[in-house]
């Protein structure tokens, strides 16, 4: 486990998460192109048949000063769980090949890779979004949320002046390694205002909710909730998350426009498998995430949102 300039308390994270993720490695790097890309490359290098290096090291077993680092961090090519944090991500990306612009210290960007075998993958990004939002914005009974979820993978900060502004995003990718499949769950959250361009739906940051918040603070709040949600979804699918999602559904009962397929209608929530339901003149339509983009009617075209996703 490598600590960087911020005080990440990686060992504390490791001790908290490893009972749910045996063999876990926690890595913190100052710079990375994309944490998702690095973990996907690492899984592909393993190929399912190569000897796995450093499947487990205790927090005290750090590389010696003279040990050369691997190109991808402390473990080069294994398929054990890894939480990889980048203080500055230079080539973050998201759904539909979109990019994300970040400023060092103003964002939390990390990815979690793990072997994953859910009975149903459907709605996984929604389950992850629920876990993140509930960890950052706990709700008492009857309390209105400050953080909403925009189908299928965005977190928005609700704003009285407008519908809301983009706060963060989730990118989930998978790769087959031998007989198993690895999932890589990427998370990007804005913490401070940043000089970004082309943010079609507005920019929000967590310091609007808590002034002195730091990237390590946020990571420690969301990491366990994320892992617990992944394990629950693996067992039960999206269904147990549906009610919590509905409470934060940004699109519910609002007019929307979609692409691929091109539809106009009113969002009517999500189904038990996480599909978006849109009531149109032709009847109720079900949309799976795939290559679908959704925007609230009257907002900019989602295809033009260069800062739409962050992983």
Q: Does 311 reside within a domain?
A: no
Q: What is the pLDDT of residues 230-251, one digit of tens each?
A: 999 999 999 999 999 999 999 9
Q: What is the pLDDT of residues 100-120, one digit of tens each?
A: 556 778 999 999 999 999 999
Q: What angle do CA 276, 261, 198 make, to 5 degrees?
A: 85
Residue 237 and residue 296 in one domain: no
Full-model pTM: 0.86
Mean pLDDT taken over the chain: 84
What percentage of the chain has pLDDT greater than the value 70?
78
| Confidence band of 208 (pLDDT split at 50, 70, 90) | very high
The reported pLDDT for the residue numbered 302 is 40
Residue 272 and residue 177 in one domain: no
pLDDT above 90 (res 252): yes
Residue 21 and residue 150 in one domain: yes
Residue 21 and residue 87 in one domain: yes
Cβ distance 215 to 113 under 8 Å?
Answer: no
Residue 39 and residue 177 in one domain: yes
Q: What is the pLDDT of residues 2-24, one digit of tens each?
A: 444 688 999 999 999 999 999 99
Q: Print the domain residue range for 276.
A: 255-304
Domain tally for the chain? 2
- The domain that holds 282 is classified in CATH as 2.30.30.100
């Amino acid at each position: 486990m490598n600590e960087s300039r911020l005080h990440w308390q990686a060992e504390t994270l490791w001790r908290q998460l490893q009972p749910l993720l045996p063999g876990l490695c926690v890595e913190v790097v100052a710079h990375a192109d994309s944490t998702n890309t690095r973990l996907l490359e690492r899984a592909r290098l393993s190929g399912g048949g190569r000897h796995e290096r450093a499947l487990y090291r205790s927090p005290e077993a750090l590389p010696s000063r003279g040990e050369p680092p691997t190109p991808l961090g402390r473990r080069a090519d294994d398929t054990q769980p890894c939480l990889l944090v980048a203080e500055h991500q230079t080539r973050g990306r998201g759904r539909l090949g979109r990019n994300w612009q970040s400023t060092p210290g103003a964002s939390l960007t990390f990815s979690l890779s793990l072997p994953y075998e859910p009975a149903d993958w459907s709605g996984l990004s929604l389950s992850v979004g629920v876990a993140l939002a509930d960890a950052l914005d706990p709700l008492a009974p009857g309390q209105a949320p400050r953080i909403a979820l925009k189908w299928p993978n965005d977190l928005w900060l609700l704003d009285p002046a407008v519908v809301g502004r983009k706060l963060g995003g989730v990118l989930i990718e998978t790769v087959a390694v031998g007989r198993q499949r690895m999932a890589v769950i990427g998370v990007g959250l804005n913490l401070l205002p940043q000089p970004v361009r082309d943010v079609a739906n507005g920019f929000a940051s967590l310091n609007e909710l808590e002034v002195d918040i730091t990237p390590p603070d946020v990571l420690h709040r969301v990491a366990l909730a994320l892992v617990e949600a992944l394990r629950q979804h693996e067992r039960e699918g999206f269904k147990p998350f549906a009610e919590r999602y509905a409470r934060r559904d940004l699109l519910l009962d609002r007019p929307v426009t979609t692409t691929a397929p091109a539809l106009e209608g009113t969002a009517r929530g999500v189904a038990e498998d996480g599909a978006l339901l849109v009531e149109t003149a032709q009847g109720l339509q079900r949309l799976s995430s795939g290559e679908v983009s959704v925007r609230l009617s009257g907002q900019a075209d989602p295809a033009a949102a260069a800062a739409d996703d962050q992983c």
